[in-house]
Chains A and B, each alone.
Chain A
């Protein structure tokens, strides 16, 4: 059974910092892994999809890395902005997505 852990659970940083959000998962037989953003009371916005054969995937200020064999993924956020404040979820995909509990990010001006 896939277990997904995200560290830290919460993060509060000043604007401009570069951030690292960590995700670990127990079943490495994944097709891919998705990172999502969730604003309070809202839906899931897909940020990045990284395939199991890839090591990195980039979109703007976001960069996701994947080490499938060790069951880890990392989301880097460069030059954080207050608009980045949200909960970030990782979801490795075997035959379904299994979500972690998320990292709640607050970026203050």
Chain B
């Protein structure tokens, strides 16, 4: 069964460093998303991506964040200069159409020290 794959599963980085979180969505999907979940809190929307551009972003998604779909398979989230408060689980999701089921990856746990 097709699945969304995220790498790495866990990343530890020093404050101020850049990190790139990687996702491989399901191959025929057209809509892509990043979410984050700070420990003990709810899952929060960060950004949606369609047709090679951002379609919507939340207030959390400031200038320190960017997304890319550099080729036909990968979808990345970059944090330019990490802060302690960026420590969270980051989830990637994809779906074919707006009204179809969204499939989530298993997440990348980012720890900023």
Taking Cβ atoms with an 8 Å cutoff, the residues of A that contact B are: 31-32, 34, 36, 41-44, 46, 49, 51, 89, 91, 93, 95-102
Is B45 an interface residue when CB atoms closer than 8 A count as contact? yes
Q: Which of B44, B98, B109 has the most CB of A within 10 A?
A: B98
Q: Which residues of B sit under 8 angstroms from A100, Cβ to Cβ?
A: 42
Partner of B103, one of A31, A42, A46, A101: A46
Least CB distance from B91 to A in Å reads: 6
Chain A to chain B: the 6 pairs with minimum beta-carbon distance, closest first:
A31-B99, A43-B106, A99-B43, A44-B104, A49-B101, A101-B42
Q: Which residue of A lies closest to B97 (CB)?
A: A31
Inter-chain pairs besides A43-B91, A46-B104, 17 sampled, C-beta below 8 Å: A31-B98, A32-B99, A32-B101, A34-B101, A36-B104, A43-B104, A43-B106, A43-B107, A44-B43, A46-B101, A46-B103, A89-B42, A89-B43, A93-B98, A93-B102, A96-B33, A96-B56
What residues of chain A lie closer than 8 Å to B104, measured between beta carbons? 36, 43-44, 46
Residues of chain A within 8 A of B45, CB atoms compared: 96-98
> Are A95 and B106 CB-contacts (below 8 A) given A46-B101, A101-B42?
no
Cβ distance A53 to chain B, nearest Cβ, rounded Å = 10
Give A11 to B97 CA distance when docked, in angstroms. 35
- List of A residues within 8 angstroms of B106 by Cβ: 42-43
Contacting pair A95 B102 (CB below 8 A): no
- List B residues 31-67 near A (Cβ within 8 Å): 33, 35, 42-45, 48, 55-56
